Chain A
Amino acid sequence: MTLKEIKDLVQGEIICGEDNLDQQIECVFASDLMSDVLTLRDVDNLLLLTGLSNLQSIRTCEMSDICYMLVVRGKAVTDEMKELAEDNDMVIIRTKFSMYKTAGILYGAGLPAVY
């Protein structure tokens, strides 16, 4: 599924990386715990679903080689976060939906979990 399709499914908005919306996503990991995200091994074409919107969630993606992030519950993304994400060629989408609803929609649409 492409990031564009994901964005439409969750009625999301693009925060950064709009030139890469045709990128294919193969699986999803949902967590607010960054230490847990840092345990992921194979992150190619993985989307991180999180309610944690701060500099450390972007840093965690940077260290983990995760390029795609979906922020739930309409959490604020600061200019500093956006700048760091852009430096790392990340795509960030934001939805107003809750974590549970967002995960349900994506899973129901055929996107598998990473585990």
Chain B
Amino acid sequence: MNFVYHVEGGDFTNAGSTSSQVKRMLKKIGVSPEIVKKTVVALYEAEVNIVAHAYRGDITVDLEEDHIKIVLDDEGPGIPDIDRAMQKGYSTASQKVREMGFGAGMGLPNIKNNSDSLNITSEVGKGTRIELINYFQ
């Protein structure tokens, strides 16, 4: 099953609504609470990243029998140095993002810690693509 969700940059009111829908879906099909939590924590951080840093983005959720694959594609400034962005404490977030309780340089490390497989590619001036996979067993 494939689902696509659209996310608007700067829309903090709806940030997390995709993660919320995916959480409900995973619970409904009986995925264990631990796997649901790690998946939606990773997704939520990534969703907030689109809202915080990009102009817009699409989240594609591919739900298979034994795993979930989530691809987050955004149009935005991109990440010049992904290795640096993966370091705890490194952040380019605005004051507004920090006021929302994010922007402490923990997002990407949190996504990594909650994904079985993670691939990040980015082009400066174009956008960022995050692919994460979590297995149900």
A52 touches B101 (CB 8 A): yes
CA distance A39 to B110 in the complex (A): 7
Flag B35-65 by CB within 8 Å of A: 1 or 0 each. Answer: 0010011001100100000000000000000
Docked Cα-Cα span, A60 to B100, in Å, equals 11
In the complex, number of A-B residue pairs with CB atoms less than 8 Å apart: 65
On B, residues with C-beta under 8 Å from A are 12-13, 15-16, 19-20, 23, 33, 37, 40-41, 44-45, 48, 100-102, 104, 106-107, 110, 113
- A34: which B residues are within 8 A, CB to CB? 100-102
Which of A4-12, A62-70, A100-108 binds B? A62-70
Complex: A24 Cα to B89 Cα, angstroms: 35
Decide if B101 touches A65 in the complex (CB within 8 Å): no
Is A35 a contact of B37 with CB atoms below 8 Å?
no
* A35 touching B101, Cβ below 8 Å: yes
Indicate if A38 sits at the interface (CB-CB under 8 A): yes
| Residue numbers in B under 8 Å from A36 (CB-CB) | 104, 106
If A33-B102, A38-B106 are given as contacts, then 16 extra A-B residue pairs at C-beta distance below 8 Å, sorted by A number, are A33-B104, A34-B100, A34-B102, A35-B45, A35-B101, A35-B110, A36-B104, A38-B41, A38-B110, A39-B110, A54-B12, A56-B100, A56-B102, A59-B19, A59-B44, A63-B16
Instruction: Tell me whether A65 and B12 are in contact (CB under 8 A).
Output: no
Assess whether A113 is interfacial by the CB under 8 Å rule.
no
Query: Which A residues are CB-close (under 8 A) to B37?
Result: 63-65
Roughly how many angstroms separate A56 CA and B100 CA in the complex, as a whole number? 6
Q: Report chain A residues within 8 Å CB of B20.
A: 59, 62-63
Judge whether B45 and A65 touch: CB under 8 Å: no
Specify which chain A residues have a CB less than 8 angstroms from the CB of B15 in the assembled complex: 55-56, 59
A79 to B111, CA, bound (A): 30
Instruction: Say which residue of A35, A60, A65 sits within 8 Å of B107 (CB atoms).
Output: A35
